[in-house]
Amino acid sequence: MTKKGHPHRSRTEGSSTRYKPVATTSGQRFLREAILTKVFATQVPSIVVLQAPAGHGKSTVLRQIRDECEAHQVRCAWLNVSDDDNDGQRHSTHLLRMLRQLFPDEISLSKAPTAGSARLQDRADWFVEILDRDESPIALFVDEFEVLSSRTVLSFWRDLLLKLPDHVQVIRQL
């Protein structure tokens, strides 16, 4: 169990759980229609933040939104954030893998600026440039975002969200 009390977020977790949602239990199948209606409104918001106390189904709602996005042919990428994402280099690696979920054949992903080799703004610009190459709808899901505390990592997200292309939606829980 980690400091934040997330039994499914250990420092040694494999990549198989970092880049996909945690499985639901049979009791978590309640579909939240009102939330889904707002997320998929005519004017789709660029950023959706789900906030509620622990145990109130935020991750479940994220999965349901992702399932709806996939049903509507929206490209989706998922990242389960953990305490080790406060290290800029590790977080950069996880973000690159997130992009590979969207663009598995994109050769330029091998030339990604790393935390040590590029200014923060350059990394956000590069990320936006990759997202903007394809104008099809994209949804980025970030679960457990609240564990991020690194000023550098949070600044990256601020810059990314400010420059987000119109066809990209970020859905995160807080």
Domains of the chain: 45-173 (3.40.50.300)
Phi-psi region of 144 (alpha: psi -120 to 50; beta: other; left: phi over 0): left
Residue 5's pLDDT band, with cuts at 50, 70 and 90, is very low
Q: Which tens digits make up the pLDDT trace of 143-166?
A: 889 999 999 999 999 999 999 999
**pLDDT by residue (tens digit) across 99-128?**
999 998 876 776 666 555 556 567 888 889
Q: Are 126 and 112 in contact (CB under 8 A)?
A: yes
Task: Measure Cα distances from 59 to 54, 118, 154, 174 in Å.
Answer: 10, 32, 21, 10
Mean pLDDT of the chain: 79
